[in-house]
Amino acid sequence: FFRRRGEVDRAIRIHQNLIANPNLTSKQRSQALLELSQDYLRAGVYDRAEQLLIEITDKMGEQLDVSLRHLKDIYEREKDWEKAIKVAVRLEAVSKQSMRKEIAHYYCELAEMAWSKGKIRLAASDLKKALRADPGCARASLLQGTYEKKLGHYHEAIHAYLRILDQ
C-alpha cells in the first residue's frame, strides 16, 4: 500500500520489522523478503534488492520464479549481461518458459562491448553463443555481418546478412 502511494521509506520500515519477527514461517519470511526487495527496487537501491533476491533464490523457496525475474531485471538495468545470462538460464529451467531470445540479446550486448574494446575474437565468440542460444536472432547475424565487413571478410559478411532473410 505504502509503496504504491510512493511512501517507499515507510514500506521498507514495515517489511524490515516483519522480517525481524522470529515467529514468521519460512513462507511468510520469504514473502516479506520479496516485498522488501520490491521496495528497494522502487527506491532504486539495486544492491540491497539484489542481495535479498539472491537470498531468496538460494533457498529455492516458493517465490523462486518471481525472485529470478526481479533479479534478471536488476541485471538488465545494471547492464551486467553475464549475470543476466546465468539468471535467465536458471529461470528457463524453473519456469519452463523459453528465455532463448533474451539470452541471445544478452550475448549480443556482450559482443558489442567486446568489439568496442577491440576484443574481436571475444565479440565473435559471443555472437556465436547468441546464435546457438537463438538461431533466429537477426540482431546477432546483423552484428556478425557488420563486424565481418569491417574486418574485410566480405564473403562471411554476405553470408551473415543473407541469414537474416531466413530469420
**Interval 93-132: pLDDT, tens:** 988 999 999 999 999 999 999 999 999 999 999 999 999 9
0.85 exceeded by the pTM?
A: no
Q: Which three cell numbers stand for residue 79?
A: 547492464
Q: Determine the Cα–Cα distance for residues 64 and 46; give it in Å rounded to an integer.
A: 18
Q: Per residue in 3-53, pLDDT tens? A: 677 777 777 777 877 777 888 787 777 778 888 888 888 888 888 888 888
String of DSSP letters for 48-105: HHHHHHHHHHHTT-TTHHHHHHHHHHHHHHTT-HHHHHHHHHHHHHHH----HHHHHH
| Cα distances (angstroms) measured from residue 153 to each of 103, 132, 145, 149, 158 | 27, 22, 9, 6, 9
Contact of 51 with 36, CB cutoff 8 Å: no
H or E segment and range at residue 41 = helix 26-43
Q: Which three cell numbers stand for residue 82?
A: 553475464
Long-range contacts of 18-26 (CB under 8 A, 24+ apart): 26/59, 26/61
